[in-house]
Amino acid sequence: MRVLTDPRDTGAVTLALPQDIQAHAGEYPLEFFEARTWPMARSHPEPRNVAECASLLGSAARPLIIAGGGVWYSEASAELEQLSASAAVPVAETFAGKGSMSTATWRTLGGIGVEGTRPANAVAASADLVMCIGTRLADFITGSQSLFKNPRVKFVAANVDARDAHKQGAIAIEGDARVVLAQLLGALAGAELPDRQEYRHEIEVLQNSWQSELNHHLSPEQPLSGRTVIRLLNQEARPGDVISSHVRRD
């Protein structure tokens, strides 16, 4: 339970009992079976690092947020969308962070990296500030260090694990994603932020081109394929829906 409730070490836990003792009876004190509450702690970041990130967001011309699984684990989707909207910053998602942005706007770029969308990877290639929220920035996300091509790009990384927060030489913000985003929103409140209209127009052109290509390859006139089925499911799914799939190999 300590591992399951630790935001840094959390993961699957296996309890293995050898067969020769599975049928053995044992005597244990009653308090061993008493219910116990394991509180989930939210770590708070260093204020000066949050302030530095807010300053960079205010001056960046081509900022990008990469949302990872930490956004989901900390239940920070609402704060992420609020920051994206108020600071006019597009968001790309890792595999674990998919769905962090539920609002379909010019700021929602979809997946990033080896299997990411063309707009997301194009924006990442020219970004001058990349803010990473709850992601380990693994090779599939960075394209084995080939994705970020702007020679002046700076990184800010918010993570509960210091090892991941310091990747890419980032300004490390060690803390829970929801706490970090909430404090960042507070730091930006009342600040004069650029509207980034030219940046928005460029991204909308990329998205429209990408959408046209998808419409061509996934049109109803095309033979039914796995990707067409996925698109239909995306169109029909509603908040709260759960899709269960089974892969059969004959």
pLDDT recorded at residue 248: 67
The pLDDT tens digits of the residues spanning 7-60 come to: 887 777 788 888 888 788 888 899 988 998 988 889 999 999 999 999 999 999
Let me know: does 71 contact 134? Beta carbons within 8 Å: yes
The pLDDT tens digits of the residues spanning 170-200 come to: 999 999 999 999 999 999 998 888 889 999 9
Q: Give the confidence band of 218 by pLDDT, cuts at 50, 70, 90.
A: confident
Q: What is the mean pLDDT of residues 191-212?
A: 93
Q: Give the confidence band of 249 by pLDDT, cuts at 50, 70, 90.
A: low
Residue type, 80: L
Q: Give the confidence band of 246 by pLDDT, cuts at 50, 70, 90.
A: confident
Residue 222 pLDDT greater than 80, yes or no: no
The pLDDT tens digits of the residues spanning 87-96 come to: 999 999 999 9
**Across all residues in the chain, what is the average pLDDT?**
91
Q: What is the mean pLDDT of residues 65-70?
A: 96
Residue 250 pLDDT greater than 70, yes or no: no
Q: Where are the domains of the chain?
A: 47-204
Residue 220 pLDDT greater than 80, yes or no: no
CATH of the domain spanning 47-204, picked from 1.20.1090.10, 3.40.50.1220, 3.90.1150.10, 3.10.20.30: 3.40.50.1220
pLDDT recorded at residue 155: 97
Q: What is the mean pLDDT of residues 141-165?
A: 95
Report d(CA 181, CA 175) in Å as an integer.
Answer: 10
Cα-Cα-Cα-Cα torsion 169, 81, 240, 111, nearest 10 degrees, comes to: -40
What is each CA distance from 12 to 1, 6, 190, in whole angstroms?
Answer: 10, 12, 43
